Structure 1
């Protein structure tokens, strides 16, 4: 069709890279592709990835998406990259990668983060200065860690990039960053939207790090055109514009139409996130709330829990249940699981802030220790963590008529009902579960349009809600869920 406007959205995550082809004229997604990544894991919480894998996966996923859409890559007008946040990619003068990328889930730099946090004056000092509380996952402690463990390599740093910045550099040859993803570095002030160069000078007084920072650009600005050799390699149009891209949560916000107040996005993935758009940087006094910038020109207050489908997955494996059987047992148990309460903090926990906690089961008796109650308790326990986070956001002035659910857990009707009842809010899924890749494609179309005002129209056209998934809270369920949540809160208080 002559009037199609085709854009490529890429989401480079921890598990793999996903690609999607969007026709911005009709708002339809025409094709998908994906390719997996592997992790380099080590003692002390090392979690790294070889950046060459990202480039291979990017290429494979793009070829697959073009083939599945049945479109000619020469028709692609623009592309945009969503990337896992907080990762550290270091380049030398020649643009070569110095070592594997340290990821958001890497905790090896915890001692360095503790020292940097002390330097900032603790949580309140960090909030006052940066607008966020730096955590071990953030980029800043990874720089200090590199300096202490690889001093020779540290001296060769010419460029400091986040994963999505690195992919943009591969595509265009330019070093730049946009405000949303930059918010998660720990050396960026979310109120003034500027790098905190003094903090980098504290890590290295030579000023080297400051000169290695990428240039900051606005979310609707292009990074540039794709390099001819890369365009040929990917099989796409060499005139395609490369949009700013952003972090996966920021792109997920665009991909769920969460670009104005009143919408909440909740992701039920291996970890859980809840976020909402804000027009002003109203920084919460709660250290657990990260007031990141959005990739649509505002802010994106966000909470993240470390345990979600990873916890339900462990319970399924223990009881040897497939997803259907697991969901049937969850549905068979009453709300509150007859008093069985699980604190599913298998990875420690960020919200509630219990980094050294482990998982626990409370309230077991000879009569309530059943499969159904265990299955129900793990789903309720993970969802209570999200409710705890949502309450923190609500205390900071967030109001919402409905929650847009994404991620693997959102496919379960019983889990959707549990979320609706615990949050006392209607929930609905978006048709596209790959919200970050869709958000990237929409952002590419926005950038290509050249109009800062066109984003709302694009979201209206391209973000489709799935009416069949709409789930409303049931009044008597809400009351029973509230009781169970209060029990959960009491057990959390004992930790």
Structure 2
């Protein structure tokens, strides 16, 4: 039995997996809250993560009706790009800055200029650093919290921190490290020069965790923590990874040909690649995977958070909101929302604000506002899919995960807008499942160096064919018109170059 943990923006999920049968035995969850502030500040206290880890694990064990002494391994998925800094006593220096924090946008631009712009960043690192990446958060901390910056002894990502809490060891694996902005995705090594630009003393390089392969464990759980959690004191802690990398494992996206789309707080699209084929498109991040390859990926910063903002504004529960979305036609009678409440990464508009377009006395209705926000956030994913297709990624089917995937209407909107069939995996908590599968892989590799991750995924990952939907030809045509309007508005409102028109390209 293996425990998968997904520490996300809104909460922590725990999942218990019987890797022999592929059966999920039980699940649990606990929530987090955000620290929000001016200029795009989005932070969290790490104590919330550890408290939620304990609560979610207890809930999963209770749901499964099993004894935690049977847990052989733990795999942790964490939100990417976050910055956790520790002093030489292992104490957290300040709240973690998250992936959705854009307070360091100015610092990111300075670093990008130093790298030689987008092309210089691509050439050096294999990715274009973005305001959400970890590297600009370090420069921000140096300039805004100099005294605490001087005390940094360890620099960790969220999942790295939870592994440190579990084992007492600082380590990082390639997939999550690839999103820091101080990692070369081609060579799979830290890039120390950019850290020396931030601090010439070399202290930051010394604070980096050891890099390990995805099949390598971080260590064993600390006995005192095993007692607190009610787990096997000999349980192995796997390398873990970023939430997108673990989601790829949890959807079986570990070989070429599949595309996974996550409908969560953020929206993501990613595919597996055997080689580091760096896209010329700056918004496509060719991260490393947590399964031994690479993971070309795009990420939008506004998805269910934007839907939630409209729900709160109109004081609607989820069922009322969905009913109103269904009442409005495709294109929301000409109402288009550019839903960039947190700025945006794809399109690359970190300082953008949200806006509504096309309002008239006749179409200003609650139904159209609800439809416009759902379509607006999904257009962002279509924009990203065009970028992936331009870089050569193809798929005959999109696998949906995340909370939004549970909505049949949204699934149909995705299929129609992407002109591609859609299906959900049987377990929507793909990142937690991926963590459990990776833990089983690490455990198996301890006694068999040839243990196959593919075989584990074949056994533990399945598709829920009852959720499968095909695009409707009339709806596909209608969405092409609405999407062109969205693209034009992005271009005229923000001066943003839109991706090539790939509407005639087969998915």
Q: TM-score, normalised by structure 1?
A: 0.95
Aligned to 1:477: 475
SS of 2:218's partner is strand
Aligned to 2:191: 196
5+ residue gaps, structure 2 = 494-507
Distance 2:228 2:16 in 1: 17
Aligned to 1:118: 113
Choose from 372, 377, 385 the match for 1:382. 377
Residues 337, 355 of structure 2: 8 Å contact kept: yes
**Are residues 346 and 54 of structure 1, via their aligned partners in 2, closer, same or farther at CA, if it must alter by over 3 Å?**
closer
Residues 131, 350 of structure 2: 8 Å contact kept: no
SS of 2:466's partner is helix
For this pair of structures, how many residues does the alignment match?
Answer: 490
After superposition, give the CA deviation of every residue in 1:358-410 in whole Å (9 maximum; x if it has no partner): 22232333433333333222222221111010010011110101111112221
Aligned to 2:500: none
Distance 2:151 2:341 in 1: 38
**Are residues 341 and 200 of structure 1, via their aligned partners in 2, closer, same or farther at CA, if it must alter by over 3 Å?**
same
Residues 102, 343 of structure 2: 8 Å contact kept: no
What is the CA RMSD across the aligned residues, in angstroms? Answer: 1.6
> Which aligned segments of 4 or more residues in structure 1 are displaced greater than 6 angstroms?
none
Aligned to 2:452: 454
Q: Does 1:338 align with 2:336?
A: no
5+ residue gaps, structure 1 = 1-5
After superposition, give the CA deviation of every residue in 1:81-108 in whole Å (9 maximum; x if it has no partner): 1111111112222222222222222222
| Structure 1 residue 226, shift from structure 2 partner | 1.3
Distance 2:352 2:39 in 1: 17
Residues 248, 436 of structure 1: 8 Å contact kept: yes
Aligned to 2:219: 224
| Structure 1 residue 427, shift from structure 2 partner | 0.4
Aligned to 1:3: none
Q: Which moved more, 1:479-488 or 1:239-248?
A: 479-488
| Structure 1 residue 324, shift from structure 2 partner | 2.4
Choose from 421, 424, 429 the match for 2:419. 424
Q: Which moved more, 1:309-318 or 1:411-420?
A: 309-318
Residues 220, 452 of structure 1: 8 Å contact kept: no
Q: Does 1:179 align with 2:174?
A: yes
Distance 1:310 1:100 in 2: 21
After superposition, give the CA deviation of every residue in 1:423-462 in whole Å (9 maximum; x if it has no partner): 0111011121211111100100111111455111111111
Distance 2:292 2:90 in 1: 30
After superposition, give the CA deviation of every residue in 1:22-80 in whole Å (9 maximum; x if it has no partner): 11111111111222223333333332222222222211211221121111111111111
SS of 1:31's partner is strand
**Are residues 452 and 193 of structure 1, via their aligned partners in 2, closer, same or farther at CA, if it must alter by over 3 Å?**
farther
Distance 1:152 1:335 in 2: 54
Residues 77, 243 of structure 2: 8 Å contact kept: yes
Alignment of 1:20-419 (within 5 A): 20-419=15-414
Distance 1:153 1:30 in 2: 43
